[in-house]
Amino acid sequence: KKRPYRWQRVLLKVSGEALAGDHIQNIDPKITMSIAREVASVTKLGVEVAIVVGGGNIFRGASWAGSSGLDRSSADYIGMLATVMNAIFLQATMESIGIPTRVQTAFRMSEVAEPYIRRRAVRHLEKGRVVIFAAGTGNPFFTTDTAAALRCAEINAEVVLKATNVDGVYDDDPRTNPNARLLENLTYQEVTSKDLSVMDMTAITLCQENNIPVVVFNLTKTGNIAKAITGEKVGTLIGG
């Protein structure tokens, strides 16, 4: 049975890993272009799209902290700066095909992008511009998944669409277990209690507390972003 949902304002979370694809450098321009094309196709339908980008393709704070005396906060600031690089790349790609796009950073870099101002972000969306939120939450010890949940709640978007490299959430690792099953529907409780590695606990809890559904889907399959955005069944839906 097809779910009759359709979103008017969505928060698309694109991880750094997804942006990297299998490109030898950190960002695969084919992937940013396919994201841009699909986002364009849905903004034409009148769906408002905000994007939170990750930075794990360039730098992940937690895995660097400790090495060479790097403290966690400093490492995380570098990680947040990495997300700004991805955001600017994605913005440039989107604008190259005519999608008006604004980047807003969680900490000021005013020569490069606007600072995050909630009301202004909402205004951009209402005008049909895509808004890319960069620098995560602006705080160390958080993730861009948490930033996605937070911004989603702040701007009253209806859903977090989490783009990944796999088709959705499985009951086991599909890369090592060929019998792993794709789970089409999950509750927040199932995600946290079964320790399904969908999002970190802070992010999923924030979604749960604010009744924000999460769709986990495969970004590498053409058409999936548009499907996810328009509310067609794709990947795993987490809610309730």
DSSP calls for 194-210 = TT-BTB-HHHHHHHHHT
CB of 128 to ligand UDP, least distance (A): 26
Helix spans in the chain (H): 16-20, 29-43, 61-64, 72-96, 118-126, 144-154, 188-193, 201-209, 224-230
Which DSSP string do the residues of 151-170 spell out, in sequence order?
A: HHHHTT-SEEEEEESSSSEE
Query: Which tokens sit at 195?
Result: 């320790």
Among 101, 137, 224, 236, binds ligand UDP (CB under 6 A): 137
Whole-angstrom distance, CA of residue 181 vs CA of residue 170: 5
Interface with ligand UDP (CB under 6 A), residue from 40, 62, 153, 180: 62
CB of 154 closer than 8 Å to CB of 55:
no
CA distances from 83 to 110, 126, 138, 172 (A): 16, 24, 11, 29
Q: Which is nearer to ligand UDP, 78 or 230 (CB)?
A: 78
Q: Indicate which single residue of 55, 168, 231, 235 sits in contact with ligand UDP (rule: CB under 6 A).
A: 55
| Residues 144-163 close enough to bind ligand UDP by CB under 6 A | 144-145, 147
CB 46, min distance to ligand UDP, A: 28
Q: Strand, coil or helix: what is 108?
A: coil
Options 61, 168, 231, 235; binder of ligand UDP; rule CB under 6 A:
61
- In the chain, how many H helices and how many E strands? 9, 11
Site residues for ligand UDP, 163-222, by CB under 6 A, read none
Applying CB under 6 A, does 76 fall inside the site for ligand UDP?
Answer: yes
For the bound state, the minimum distance from the C-beta of residue 61 to ligand UDP, rounded and expressed in Å, comes to 2
Q: How far is the CB of 215 from ligand UDP (least distance, A)?
A: 16
How many chain residues interact with ligand UDP (CB under 6 A)? 24
Pick 81 or 180: Cβ nearer ligand UDP: 81
Residue from 7, 34, 49, 60 touching ligand UDP (CB under 6 A): that is: 60
Contact between 143 and ligand UDP by CB under 6 A: the answer reads yes
Tell how far CA 233 is from the center of its chain: 18
Contact positions vs ligand UDP (CB under 6 A): 15-17, 54-56, 60-62, 75-76, 79-80, 82-83, 136-137, 139-140, 142-145, 147
